[in-house]
Amino acid sequence: MTPEELSTAIRGALQSAVDAGDLTAPVPAEVRVERPRSREHGDWATNIALQLAKPAGMPPRAVAELLAARLGAVPGVAAVDVAGPGFLNISLDAASAGELARSIVEAGETYGHGTSESGRVVNLEFISANPTGPLHIGHTRWAALGDAMRRLLAATGAQVTAEYYINDAGAQMDKFGASVLARAAGQEPPEDGYPGEYVADRAREVLAQRPDLLDLPREEALAVARDLGYVAQLEAIRATLDRFGVHFDVWFSERTLHEGGAVGRAVERLRGQGHVFDQEGAVWLRTTDFTDDKDRVLIRANGEPTYFAADAAYYLSKKDRGFDEKVYLLGADHHGYINRLKAIAACAGDDPEHNIEVKIGQLVAIAGQRMGKRLGNAIYMDELIEWIGSDAVRYSLSRYPSDSPLSLDGEELRKQTNDNPVFYVQYAHARTANVARLAGEDGVRRDEGFDAALLTDPTEAALLAVLGDFPRVVAQAAHLLEPHRVARYLEELAARFHKWYDTCRVRPQNADEEVTDLHRTRLWLNDATGQVLANGLALLGVSAPDRM
């Protein structure tokens, strides 16, 4: 019996009680079941009796006892206990619990997926680094988390678009062009330019396309170096993300907002909403009406739009493209953007509590040392991938909440030991594959038998309980946009599997032992575990190797 089937059975018991006149309360569309913290309390638990007590006009325990009597008669339910103020602890018989193994194998890559977030239309913007240099470790954290969020939302039925906002307008692009031109001429970049070695690479690429670059008039040469260098740097960013397994549906250019007149139109639209005012020759947005600490300038007195004006135009672009929810993943230095962006949403007539969510990622340190370009010790994504490996980087960055400061030990993440979480989980998957290979050599075939009632060992019950919890974990992680819940779940699943592996044998112990349905059924359970490990790792963008 799967958690979904148990939930349906509980709803059936509720409906039966209502139809018999024993209960007067609305039957909910869904009943949530969860694993108890202690296995001694059964396989599953629900607090539905506490939820229905008030509308039913009955004490919670009375509702729980009424339901317990009916649930006890459901096939596959071994026992139902009422605990505390009215919790229901449900134990399944071995056959019913064991059927989950077959269900998982048959569901394959779709097990754990669902429709809990169906109806959500989400624009998920993450990374959005300036195209003036390589992606560094801070961007890497958002790449791992943002892509995992995208995968989780898609797996639970949401319509999600991953978007990269290219900050390709403004003075930084001119400084980048001047830096590329200087390198092409064999000179050092300007003092306020970009000194990285990658600029020399961009300069060589620009010269390959325009050998006449240094013969052009200064202003024309600057424009060519800026535009061709920008294209080359953006391609380098795309290539890095491709190595990291991150792909975007939309690459949105900030420059198009200015060149297409979207910024000016955005100001007028906001003025029409009644939140724009003129003062001292500048155009302002009254964001203090919506919890911002001060009003913000949209158009300077000299007629130049601010970055904030582009932010407003970009938000309205997302709104016009039909995205009900706009999720922004920003770096630690953007904390002040939360109220500003929410104020834009409110000024545009949206609900800032629903239509926009801003997540701020905290700093990342390597071996206790903070990283940053301004600190002069930035580590780039390409270097991280080469040093630690894409899987280890993605998993490690996904297993912590985005708002927690993070310190990584690169050498520890390279070690193939159980102290390394990504190795521990991947090794569990590789072990399931190895068990299946060796079992096949011994003549153990899944399709020749399955008897769920044989899965009676305590380690099997514990493993099945964790496997059954996967859909709930995925649904919760997607709803809260918290991929770390999946990572921590996988570590618990790996631990349960390793304990089961140490206790229960899938293969005959020697050549004289006959292959039985117990071996075959345990192979189903082994393969179900491997499937869930693979599905969970896929949601984090991490591979599930068959050999290690």
Q: Is 532 exposed, middle or buried, given 0-12, 13-18 or 19+ CB atoms closer than 10 A?
A: buried
Among 269, 266, 294, 267, smallest CA distance to 283 is for: 267
pLDDT class of 367 with cuts at 50, 70, 90: low
Q: What distance in Å separates the CA atoms of residue 501 and residue 428, rounded to the nearest whole number?
A: 10
Question: 346 and 352 in contact (C-beta within 8 Å)?
Answer: yes
**Using the 8-state DSSP alphabet, how is residue 11 labeled?**
H
Which uninterrupted H or E stretch holds 90? strand 87-92
Summarize the confidence of residues 214-231 as an average pLDDT: 96
Of 28-42, 132-146, 171-185, 452-466, the poorest mean pLDDT is in: 28-42
Summarize the confidence of residues 414-430 as an average pLDDT: 90
pLDDT at position 82 is 92
Summarize the confidence of residues 203-229 as an average pLDDT: 96
Q: What distance in Å separates the CA atoms of residue 206 and residue 198, rounded to the nearest whole number?
A: 12
The end-to-end CA distance of the chain, in Å, is 33
pLDDT at position 180 is 96
Q: What distance in Å separates the CA atoms of residue 478 and residue 251, rounded to the nearest whole number?
A: 23
CB-CB neighbours of 292 under 10 Å = 21
Summarize the confidence of residues 248-260 as an average pLDDT: 95
pLDDT at position 324 is 96
Q: What distance in Å separates the CA atoms of residue 254 and residue 539, rounded to the nearest whole number?
A: 30
CB-CB neighbours of 372 under 10 Å = 17
59-68, 83-92, 216-225: which is most confident = 216-225
Total-model pTM: 0.88
Whether the predicted pLDDT of 378 surpasses 70? no
Of 32-46, 137-151, 238-252, 295-309, the poorest mean pLDDT is in: 32-46
Q: Which residue has the higher pLDDT, 345 or 24?
A: 345
pLDDT class of 371 with cuts at 50, 70, 90: very low
Whether the predicted pLDDT of 376 surpasses 60? no
Amino acid identity of residue 455, one-letter, is: L
Q: What distance in Å separates the CA atoms of residue 216 and residue 220, rounded to the nearest whole number?
A: 6
Residue 124 token pair: 């998920």
Share of the chain above pLDDT 70, in %: 97
The residues, ordered by sequence, that sit 6+ positions from 339 with a Cβ below 8 Å of its Cβ are 287, 290, 291, 292, 293
Which uninterrupted H or E stretch holds 10? helix 3-19
Q: What distance in Å separates the CA atoms of residue 441 and residue 472, rounded to the nearest whole number?
A: 36
pLDDT class of 319 with cuts at 50, 70, 90: very high
Summarize the confidence of residues 222-231 as an average pLDDT: 96
**Using the 8-state DSSP alphabet, how is residue 450 labeled?**
-
**In order of start, what are the domains of the chain with their CATH numbers?**
3-92 (3.30.1360.70), 126-259+362-413 (3.40.50.620), 415-539 (1.10.730.10)
Q: Provide DSSP, 406-441.
A: EEE-HHHHH--STTSHHHHHHHHHHHHHHHHHHHHH
